[in-house]
Amino acid sequence: KQEVTQIPAALSVPEGENLVLNCSFTDSAIYNLQWFRQDPGKGLTSLLLIQSSQREQTSGRLNASLDKSSGRSTLYIAASQPGDSATYLCATSMDSNYQLIWGAGTKLIIKP
């Protein structure tokens, strides 16, 4: 049974720093992996989707990598800004029906 773990659970850094959020999963036979952000009281916003055949995806200051063999994905945020403060969640899908298995999230606070 797939398990997804996100470390750390919370992170607070000064503005401008580059940072890495980690996501690990126990079953490497994933269909894809997605990173989301959730602002307090809001829905989730998809950030990056990495298919099982891909190694990384980039969008603006965000870069997500995928290493299936080690069961890891990282989300790299460059030049962090206070507006990046949110909870970041990763989720894996084992098939095309997208029954996602979720991590518990990393709550990120960027201090001005």
Tally the C-alpha atoms within 13 A of residue 82's C-alpha that lie toward its C-beta.
Answer: 2
State the Cα–Cα distance between residues 22 and 6, nearest whole angstrom.
6
* Binding mask of the shown chain, residues 62 to 101, with x at each position contacting another protein by CB under 8 A: ---------------------------x-x----xxxxx-
Amino acid at the residue 82? P
DSSP structure class, residue 94: S
Q: Which stretch binds another protein (CB under 8 A): 7-15, 19-27, 32-40, 77-85?
A: 32-40
Binding residues vs another protein (CB under 8 A):
32, 34, 36, 41-46, 48-49, 51, 89, 91, 96-100, 102-105
